[in-house]
Structure 1
Amino acid sequence: MTAHPWLPGLLADPLIGDSDESWPVSGSEVKHQNGYLSLRVDTIVDPQGGEHPRSVVQPHGAIGVVAIDEHDRILLVEQYRHPVARRLLEIPAGTLDVPDESTQAAAARELAEEADLVAEDWESILRLLATPGYSTEHWEVFVATGLSAVPADQRTVREAEEADMAQWWLPFGQAVDAVLAGRITDSMTVAAILAVQAQRAR
């Protein structure tokens, strides 16, 4: 390991990445549980033997879909989100709440349910942890191309916040601009759009 020549820290290996590690847990108590998530408080033990309470939210994982048409337009859905009291522009997304369903199958299901679309071609481009400071939630994002519409008589009847969900097609470059200008703020959508942009620039 080589120290940075004039700043704190070490010079990283080009293949540096996250690594597995698990500190002992001396106690755990479930505080809340429903069909979507559970909340527990773990008491973790650090390497020096100190104990620290940590809240852990454990929801289902989720997937997102960057759906791009033949003219390089990305589909964004506009949906009301109660916790932040805003209507957000997002890529189609949803939770992994069907037992034994693969992430790609879940992505295809959500694309059909939220956007009335099916895709011929799928590529997984991004895996990330949503908020690892307090949650176990993990996300996977796919790019979907070769799009066609779900027949009208087979479309999902959307309810609650999804009932009036608008669908917008935006040129991909303008979507990047909207992210950088702060007009699109949903974290999965931001990460997905910038990941596709980075992939194209390599």
Structure 2
Amino acid sequence: MTDGDRHEFRTTASRIEYEGAILALRVDDVVMPGDATAVREVVEHFGAVAIVAIDEHDQIVMVDQYRHPVGDRLWELPAGLLDEPGESPVAAAQRELMEETGLSARTWAVLVDAAVSPGMTDEAIRVFVAQDLQDIDRPDPEHEEADMHIHRIPLADAVRKVLNGDIVNATAIAGILALDVARRNDVALRSVDAPWSTRPTKLAQRRHPSGE
């Protein structure tokens, strides 16, 4: 099949079945090959950012926190939602790094973009690498973050934790392995304002149609 022969998956109807604080459930009628129509459920999401913050000793900053959907505490990167109207991804990453770890960074780049679970959700995440770290004041944490613990571990140890199953958070896996590969192969990273074609927009546009 050539690119010109590819089917156009048209949405003929769409409805919102549930609207929550940080997500929505949308149901679409989609035209399949052969002109049959199938129902597809889509979890709409704001999108998110995460940060691989690495210090001068090649240690990365990680957190462990309770995640209710899996009923466990997970090793994760500092991360957060893109739910502030008008806030750029890098500004959101800088805010989350400060709020979760009490750190700022002078040097930023895009490390990797990931579609989290494209079979069911439009959620996508942009992972930044942050360097030249500085300590700053951290706001008082709330909810799960009040039980969050901050760690610095060597990048090589983090890679091993991924491969032995201690780190299972998908965003952390992507960020840790991407940084390791980039450093080993001297890969030039993208600028903080690099295009991001898979960034979700539907939920944010419906909640904040003016962008404010």
Q: TM-score range by the shorter chain?
A: 0.7 to 0.9
Counterparts of 1:121 and 1:26, CA distance in 2:
45
Q: How far does residue 94 in structure 1 lie from its aligned partner after superposition?
A: 0.3
Cα RMSD, aligned residues only: 1.5
- Higher RCO (CA < 8 A, seq sep 6+): 2
CA contact (8 A) 2:25 2:43 kept: yes
Larger radius of gyration: 1
Q: Which ranges of structure 1 fall in alignment gaps of 5 or more residues? A: 2-19
Task: Report the residue type matching 2:129 in the other structure.
Answer: V
- The 1:33–1:120 alpha-carbon spacing in structure 2 relative to 1, beyond 3 Å, is same
Query: What is the match of residue 92 of structure 1?
Result: 78
Query: What is the match of residue 123 of structure 2?
Result: 137
Q: 1:187 aligns with which of 159, 167, 170?
A: 170
Q: How far does residue 34 in structure 1 lie from its aligned partner after superposition?
A: 2.1
Q: How does 1:63-82 map to 2 (within 5 A)?
A: 63-82=49-68
Q: How does 1:1-202 map to 2 (within 5 A)?
A: 23-151=9-137, 155-202=138-185
CA contact (8 A) 2:7 2:33 kept: no
TM-score by length of 1: 0.86
Tell me the number of residue pairs that the alignment of Structure 1 and Structure 2 aligns: 181
SS of equivalent residue, structure 2 residue 156: helix
Q: How far does residue 128 in structure 1 lie from its aligned partner after superposition?
A: 1.2
- The 1:127–1:21 alpha-carbon spacing in structure 2 relative to 1, beyond 3 Å, is farther
CA contact (8 A) 2:111 2:127 kept: yes
The CA deviation string for residues 30-85 of structure 1, in whole angstroms up to 9 with x for no partner, is: 11002311101111101310111111000110000000111000111010000000
SS of equivalent residue, structure 1 residue 94: strand
Task: Report the residue type matching 1:139 in the other structure.
Answer: I
Counterparts of 1:193 and 1:174, CA distance in 2:
10
Q: Which ranges of structure 2 fall in alignment gaps of 5 or more residues? A: 186-212
